[in-house]
């Protein structure tokens, strides 16, 4: 399958509003990872987790990899939001909240 055909097929799959798993198979060194990283740059409206199966021996290790990526993205979103709303005060109720600084 050509790169053009693969892009077209992936775009058709990803236009649906549902979660999908995509597997790109090919011999070692043909550019699967390079292709995917280039392709996902256009997916600005999609949430993507990339997992290389190289060295993975169990489904559990794949799930863990996906989970850690999702958590990492959620933490980045939280820290970006927290930067803008460090101190929140609700004067009518008398409640003040100070968000903790990010610890690296």
97 pLDDT tier (thresholds 50, 70, 90):
low
Which among 66, 15, 67, 71 is positioned nearest to 43, based on CA atoms?
Answer: 15
Torsion of CA 8, 12, 13, 14, to 10 degrees: 100
pLDDT given for residue 29 in this prediction: 92
Higher pLDDT, 100 or 76: 76
Same domain for 2 and 44? yes
Same domain for 43 and 59? no
Same domain for 43 and 61? no
64 pLDDT tier (thresholds 50, 70, 90):
confident
Same domain for 66 and 83? yes
Same domain for 24 and 60? no
Same domain for 36 and 64? no
Same domain for 64 and 101? yes
Q: What is the pLDDT of residues 3-62, one digit of tens each?
A: 899 999 998 888 888 888 888 888 989 998 999 989 888 888 878 888 888 888 988 888
Same domain for 41 and 2? yes
Higher pLDDT, 41 or 92: 41
Same domain for 65 and 99? yes
Domain count, the chain: 2
Higher pLDDT, 30 or 78: 30
Distance (Å, whole) CA 33 – CA 24: 9
Q: Which structural domain range is residue 62 located in?
A: 55-104
Same domain for 63 and 43? no
Same domain for 2 and 42? yes
Distance (Å, whole) CA 71 – CA 85: 21
Is the predicted pLDDT of residue 102 greater than 70, yes or no?
A: no
How buried is residue 36: exposed, middle or buried, by Cβ count under 10 Å (0-12/13-18/19+)? Answer: middle
Distance (Å, whole) CA 99 – CA 84: 10
Q: Which pTM does this prediction carry?
A: 0.57
């Amino acid at each position: 399958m050509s790169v053009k055909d693969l892009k077209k097929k992936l775009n058709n799959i990803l236009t649906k509003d549902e979660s999908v798993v995509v597997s790109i198979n090919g011999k070692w060194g043909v550019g699967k990872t390079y292709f995917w990283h280039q392709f996902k740059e256009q997916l600005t409206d999609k949430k993507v987790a990339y997992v290389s199966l190289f060295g993975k021996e169990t489904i559990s290790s794949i799930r863990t990899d996906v989970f850690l990526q999702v958590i990492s993205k959620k933490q980045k979103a939280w820290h970006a939001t927290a930067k803008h709303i460090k101190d929140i005060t609700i004067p009518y109720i008398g409640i003040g909240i100070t968000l903790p600084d990010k610890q690296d």
